[in-house]
Amino acid sequence: MRFRTFISATRSRSRKQIGPIRPIGPIFPRNPSGPWCPYIPSLHPEAAQDSDILLLKAIAARDEAALAQLYDRYRTILFGLLMRILNNREEAEDVLQETFLQVWRKAADFDETRGRPFTWLVTLARSRGIDRLRTQASRERVAEAGAREVSEEISDAATDAFKSEQRGLVSDALAKLPDEQKRPIMLAYFDGLTQSEIATRLGAPLGTVKTRMRTGMIRLRELLAGQGESFGF
């Protein structure tokens, strides 16, 4: 009995400290749609990050609703990433589930001084996705270029906004990368290949692959940074 009292006290205390989860701040000055645009977190990376941090803190305090909210915010981006990596709906959903259960268990490990919640989430999901890919040794499936499933239409307005803003920035940046730099990066990021494997795949010397990958990453960072502070560089 004493324990339950203790637990419920802890719960109510932590909820009280964190407060209701809601978007922070008014319209941002850099809002491209003008001052009367309704609040959409994804249009305002700083605000989205702040509320993401609050969500992670609430999750660390065992707030189930906060996890649901974080899931709703990032499910399409992370599932899109996992589909791109695994090219299999069932497995991508399985890894997506594992990822959010890991978020549930490890939210307290998130360190806001080391990066944004978006980076943390994507890194978790991608790393689990690549692990799954490697353990399956099912690269042949991924290698089937053009055999990828077509993504479903996305209805979520915020995700649409995310897509139109930040996805646009990433697509633009990638479009500006020379193909010889972009390919090693994409093969590493989405197919989980190491530099040696990429060299073999591309029939290029390992040293060349290393140089192109590094040059490409530096260029990508510059291009994204040039687009404003959307990615926190």
Partner 1 sequence: MVHDDYKEMIPARALSALDAAEAQALNEHLENCAECRKELDEWQATAAALALGANPSEPSPQVRERILDEVRKDLSEDKVVPFRSTPRNLWSSFGSLGAMAAAVLFTVLIVGLIVLWRQNNAVQAELQQSREFVQLVTSPGARVTELRATDAAASASATIAYDRNGRAILLASNLPKVPQGKAYQLWFLVGHAPPTPGKTFAPDSSGQGVLKEQMPREALDSPVFAITLEPAGGSTTPTSPIYLHSVSINF
Q: Please say whether the beta carbons of 13 and 23 come within 8 A.
A: no
Question: In 10 A of CB 74, how many CB atoms?
Answer: 23
Q: How many helices (H) and strands (E) does the chain have?
A: 11, 0
Residue with smaller CB distance to partner 1, 27 or 214: 214
- Piece of the chain touching partner 1 by CB under 8 A; list 22-30, 50-58, 123-131, 137-145: 123-131
192 touches partner 1 by CB under 8 A: yes
Q: How far is the CB of 11 from partner 1 (least distance, A)?
A: 10
The size of the chain, in residues, is 233
Residue 57 and residue 60: Cα distance in Å, rounded? 5
The 10 Å CB-count burial string (b at 16+, else e) for 112-139 is: eeeebbbebbbebbbebbbebbeeeeee
Strand intervals (E) in the chain: none
Question: Please, which of residues 66-105 interact with partner 1 by CB under 8 A?
Answer: 67-68, 71-72, 75-81, 83-84, 92-93, 96-97, 100-101, 104
Residue from the set 151, 164, 200, 208 that interacts with partner 1 by CB under 8 A: 151
- The CA-based diameter of the chain, rounded to the nearest angstrom, is 68
**What is the 8-class DSSP label of residue 151?**
P
Q: Is 205 helix (H, G, I), strand (E, B) or coil?
A: coil
Which structure tokens are listed for 52? Answer: 């993401």
Number of residues near partner 1 (by CB under 8 A): 76
Residue from the set 123, 136, 200, 208 that interacts with partner 1 by CB under 8 A: 123
132 touches partner 1 by CB under 8 A: no
Q: How far is the CB of 143 from partner 1 (least distance, A)?
A: 17
56 touches partner 1 by CB under 8 A: no
**Tokens 């390919």 identify what position?**
183
Question: Please, which of residues 102-121 interact with partner 1 by CB under 8 A?
Answer: 104, 114-116, 118-119
Residue from the set 61, 112, 195, 202 that interacts with partner 1 by CB under 8 A: 195
Q: How far is the CB of 138 from partner 1 (least distance, A)?
A: 18
